[in-house]
Amino acid sequence: MWIGNVGLNLPDTEPYVAVAEKFVEDAHEALKSEIRCPRLALGVVGTGEGGMRGNKGDMVEALVRRLFELADRLSVDIVLVAWGVDMYAACQRARKRVQPNPRPLGELIDCPDIERVDSAVSSIAASVRSRRLVAFVGAGVSMGAGLPSWKGLLDELALEAGGPLADLDRLHLLDPRDQAMVIQKRLGKDTFRAKLNDKFSTKDYALAHGLLASLDPHEVVTTNYDALMEQAFGEFRRPAVLPYAPVGTDGRWLLKLHGTIDELASIVLTRDDYLGLPERSQALFGIVQAMLMTRHMLFVGYSLSDDSFHRVVHDVRRARGHGQSDTKLGTVLTLFEDPLLSALWGGDLDIVPVAQARDHISHPAERSASRQLDIVLDRIGLLSADVTSFLLDDTYASMLDRHEETVRDDLLQLMGHLDGSSPIDVQVREMLATVLRSASGDVQDSAGRP
C-alpha cells in the first residue's frame, strides 16, 4: 500500500497526474528486482472530493494518457480502478481516444493461434453488447485470489486431518469425491465444514473477477463456494444468488451449482453430496441447459471435468438434435493448449488457449498464462464497453463529441417535457433510465428531478 497526496483542491489535471506518475515510477523501482512485470493499481485520482470532481472527463483522459506512456516506458501492468459504471465507461472512452488503434493482441500475449483468440474476443464482445453473454466462472479464477484448487483444498484438509490421510500418495488413488468423504469422516462433519468456511471466506477478489464483473453479465454460473464474484460486482450491481435469494428487478443473478460458503450445508464436495445432487439441483442444472441453448456461455477457470456438467451437455446435445450440431454452445478460455481437451469438447465448445502448451506447468508459467488471460478479458471489456452511461453527467461533458453533445441536449430537452403525469411519460422515462442509468441507478432531467 502506497500513499500519495491527492487531497489537492486544484482545478488542474497535472498535479494529480504527477502524483500518479510518481507512484508508478517509485513502485516500479521498488519491485523490478523481484517481479519481471509488476502489476500496479490506482484509482482515478482527483475525481472523488478532489479539485477535478467537476471536470472528470479531462482528468480521466489526462490520467489514462500518462499511464499508457508509463506502462510502455517501464514495462509495468497498470490497473485503473474505476468507482461505478459512469467512471468505468469514461475510462474506456479515454483509452479509445488515447489509443484509437490498440496494440494487436499478438504483441501482448504469446499464444498458439492469435487469429483464433482475436476471433473469440470479437465474438464474446459482441455477445456482451447484445446482452447474450453468460459467464461460467470456475475455481481457476478464484485461485488468482489465493484460494486453493479442488486438489489443493483436499490436500490441505488431509494434512490437517493427519493420521493415514497424511499419506497423500495413497489418498490420491481415490476419486476426489471419495477423498473428501474420508477426510470428512476423520474430521467430523462440523469441523470439516468449519475448515471449508475458513479457507473460502476471503473478500479480496482477483483481477479476473473484476474484469468479468466489468462486462456486466446479467447471468453468471459458478461451481465456486466463495463469494468473490458477488464482491466483484460491487454494492450497486450485486446479483441475486440462486437458489438462495429471489431475482431483483434488474434481472441480475448468480447461480451457485455446488453451494455457497454462506450456506455451509449446501456445499457439494463429498461422494454423498454428489449422489444427492440430481435430486437437490435438477432445476438449477435446467437453468444451465437453457442458457447453453439460448445464450453464449463464456467459461473461465473451469476444467470441464465435473460429472454434472457432462450430464448437462449430454442432455443439450440430445435436445438440439442434428440440426444445430455445428453450432458451438460457448467459448472456453483456457490457460494452455490441450489437444486432449479439444478432442473431448471441441465438437460442443470453442476451446481457445491463451498461452503456448508446456511439457511441465510450473508456477511461473501459470502466472504468465494467467496474466495473458487477464489481458484477453481486458480486451473484451475494451471492445464491449457501454459508453452511454455518462452521457447526461455534466462532469464528463468534455468526453462527448459534437454529435453526442447534440443528442445529450435533445434528451435533456425531451426529459424537461416529462412531468410524469401520463402513462407515456412514465414509459419514456423508464426507457431512458434503462439506456442511460448511472452508477447510482438514477437519471435526472434538466431540472434535476430524479
Give residue 150's pLDDT: 87
Q: Stretch 20-44: mean pLDDT, rounded?
A: 93
Cell numbers placing 392 = 447526461
Which contiguous run of DSSP H or E holds residue 169? Answer: helix 168-171
| Residue with grid cell 473451469, as numbered in its chain | 302
Residue 224 binned pLDDT confidence (cut-offs 50, 70, 90): very high
Does the pLDDT value for residue 448 go beyond 50? no
Does the pLDDT value for residue 383 go beyond 90? yes
| Residue with grid cell 432445476, as numbered in its chain | 283
Q: Stretch 103-130: mean pLDDT, rounded?
A: 94
Distance, in Å, from the CA atom of 89 to the CA atom of 392, rounded to the nearest integer, reads 13
Distance, in Å, from the CA atom of 66 to the CA atom of 339, rounded to the nearest integer, reads 42
17: left (phi over 0), alpha (psi -120 to 50) or beta: alpha
Distance, in Å, from the CA atom of 220 to the CA atom of 245, rounded to the nearest integer, reads 14
Residue 442 binned pLDDT confidence (cut-offs 50, 70, 90): very low
Residue 7 binned pLDDT confidence (cut-offs 50, 70, 90): confident
Give residue 276's pLDDT: 83
Q: Are 337 and 3 in contact (CB under 8 A)?
A: no
Give residue 324's pLDDT: 57
Q: Which domains does the chain have, with CATH numbers?
A: 13-81 (no CATH), 117-146+202-384 (3.40.50.1220), 150-199 (no CATH)
Q: Are 141 and 147 in contact (CB under 8 A)?
A: no
Which contiguous run of DSSP H or E holds residue 87? Answer: helix 85-98
Residue 316 binned pLDDT confidence (cut-offs 50, 70, 90): confident
| Maximum Cα–Cα distance across the chain | 77
Q: Are 135 and 215 in contact (CB under 8 A)?
A: yes
- Mutual angle of helices 176-187 and 150-161, in 10-degree steps: 30
Residue 340 binned pLDDT confidence (cut-offs 50, 70, 90): confident
Does the pLDDT value for residue 305 go beyond 60? yes
Does the pLDDT value for residue 359 go beyond 70? no
Q: Which tens digits make up the pLDDT trace of 61-93?
A: 999 999 999 999 999 999 999 988 899 999 999
Q: Stretch 209-234: mean pLDDT, rounded?
A: 94
Q: Which tens digits make up the pLDDT trace of 330-339?
A: 999 999 988 8
| Residue with grid cell 450445508, as numbered in its chain | 265
What is the Cα 175 distance to its own chain's centre?
Answer: 31
Q: Which of 167, 163, 170, 169 is nearest to 186 (CA)?
A: 163
**Higher local confidence (pLDDT), 9 or 126:** 126
Give residue 331's pLDDT: 94
Q: What is the mean pLDDT of the chain?
A: 88
Distance, in Å, from the CA atom of 136 to the CA atom of 221, rounded to the nearest integer, reads 5
Amino acid in position 252: R
Give residue 345's pLDDT: 87
Q: Stretch 192-221: mean pLDDT, rounded?
A: 93
Q: Which tens digits make up the pLDDT trace of 150-205?
A: 899 999 999 999 988 889 999 999 999 999 999 999 999 999 999 999 999 888 99
Of the ranges 202-206, 216-220, 282-286, 428-432, which is most confident? Answer: 216-220
Q: In this predicted structure, which of 35-39, 72-76, 178-182, 427-431 has the lowest mean pLDDT?
A: 427-431
Q: Which tens digits make up the pLDDT trace of 384-426?
A: 988 778 888 899 999 998 998 898 888 888 888 887 678 888 8
Does the pLDDT value for residue 438 go beyond 80? no
Q: Which tens digits make up the pLDDT trace of 228-283?
A: 999 999 888 899 999 999 998 888 999 999 999 988 889 999 999 888 877 777 88
Amino acid in position 177: R
Give residue 339's pLDDT: 85
Give residue 435's pLDDT: 60
Distance, in Å, from the CA atom of 434 to the CA atom of 395, rounded to the nearest integer, reads 21
pTM for this predicted structure: 0.89
User: For 148, which DSSP code?
Assistant: P
Residue 322 binned pLDDT confidence (cut-offs 50, 70, 90): low
Q: Stretch 102-128: mean pLDDT, rounded?
A: 94
